[in-house]
Structure formats: C-alpha cells, structure tokens
A = this chain, B = another copy of it.
Amino acid sequence: MSEVIARELASHIVDAKLPAGSVLPTEKEMIESFDVGRSTIREALRLLETRNVITLRPGPGGGPVVRRPRPEDLSEALSLILQFEDASLDDVMQARRALEPTIARLAATRITEADLDLMERTVRVVLESPDPEVFQEQNRIFHSTLSRAACSVVLQVFVESLGSVADGIAGGVTYSPRRYVAAAHAHTRIIEALRANDADCAEQLMRNHLDEADGYWHKKHRDLVSRPVLWRR
C-alpha cells in the first residue's frame, strides 16, 4: 500500500510539474486525503526520500518537499551494481567508447548553433590555460553539451552517469599541458564535423579521440584502469 501511495505521489509531482522546493501536503493532510494510517504514509514518504523524489525537512513546520530525482542520481545505482559486479574503470571507459561515438552521430544532425558555440568556447578556454582544473571543467562541459545535443534523454543519462563514475575513480589524475592541448584539438575536429552535420565523420572522430585516450591510459596508467568501481553516493 505504501508503494502504491509513493507511486501516486511521484506521478502527481511529474503531472503537476511541481518544481524542486515545492512544499507538499503534511503527513497529517496525506493521512486524511489517502485515508490510510500514519505508518503507511511514513513508509511511502521514506521510500520517496531514499529515491531522491522528496526531502523530508525535520522539525516543526517541516515535512515533505519536492526534490525530483536527477539524471546524475543514476550514477549511485550504477556504481553500486558495478561494485558488486567487480567492474573496473576499464569497463566504464569501454562503455563510454561504445556510447559516445553514437551520441556524436546523433548530435551531428540535431545540434544547435548555440551548443556548437558553447563547445567551441570550452576549446578556447583550455587552449588559453591548459592546466588540470581548467581542462577537467571544460571537458565536462564539452561532453555534457554534446550528450544533451543528441536529444536522447536515455543515452544522456547513461553517458553522464558513466562520466561521473569515471570522475569518481580518476578525477584527481593529471596530465601534461601537451595532452590537454592535444585533446582540445581533437575536440575542435569533432566540432567541425558536427557543424558540417557530418554524422559519419563526427562518430569516427569521437571514436578516434576515445581510442587514443584509452591507449594512453593503458600505457601510462595501468594501475588506474584496473581500479575497481566503488559505490558512490
């Protein structure tokens, strides 16, 4: 019963397009409107809280507030399953290498001028200061703009959770400025293919880019690629 109520509340939030921060009826009001006991409502709210649908503000004047699960939330569930499947960073990178070329292919015919400009900006910023922190941030923007531009919410959710799992393992690793410049040039070539709406070329260039990075990691950071995925919250 608490599951049924949890699902109804989730559907209500989606259907009414309630934004994060919206205050929901109190526990007491829900007991009346659903005509069930306090423990059932509590269980439903707790379930929604563990699934990041709501937060429960404690104390007097507190109560359920909409949070809405976010695409990033998938990385928690993913990292947990991958830890139990003994997966390594290598497995995560392999999946990225399978997904991102397809995303580049889809984006090639769907991307907007605004997104292309945004991606070009990331390249300029990296070339101006090719250091680890700048690269990490701009690289993230480059890839997330591309994944949004593919207009496939599912692939976007997948590839972003892979990115976040990978960052959790390899986030602190730094490279030489030369490698950041090389990556920026690879990004430029991908942007050119996208701008020309050349799906084959964008796919192939993204594949080359990731294969190159993968080869480098396997040669220079063997320890890193074999690191296990751990559950991250």
Contacts and interface: CB of A to CB of B under 8 A. Distances in A.
Q: Copies of this chain, how many?
A: 2
Contact of A102 (B14, B102, B162): B102
Q: Is the interface of A mostly helix, strand, loop or mixed?
A: helix
Contacts of A158: 95, 158
Interface in A74-124: 74, 76-78, 80-87, 91-92, 94-95, 98-99, 102-103, 106
Interface in A47-70: 47, 50-51, 53, 68-70
Contacts of A78: 74, 77, 154, 157
Interface string A17-55: 000000000000000000000000000000100110100
A152 interface: yes
A154 B51 contact: no
B73 A81 contact: yes
Given A7-B231, A14-B84, A152 B70 contact: no
Contacts of A219: none
A153 interface: yes
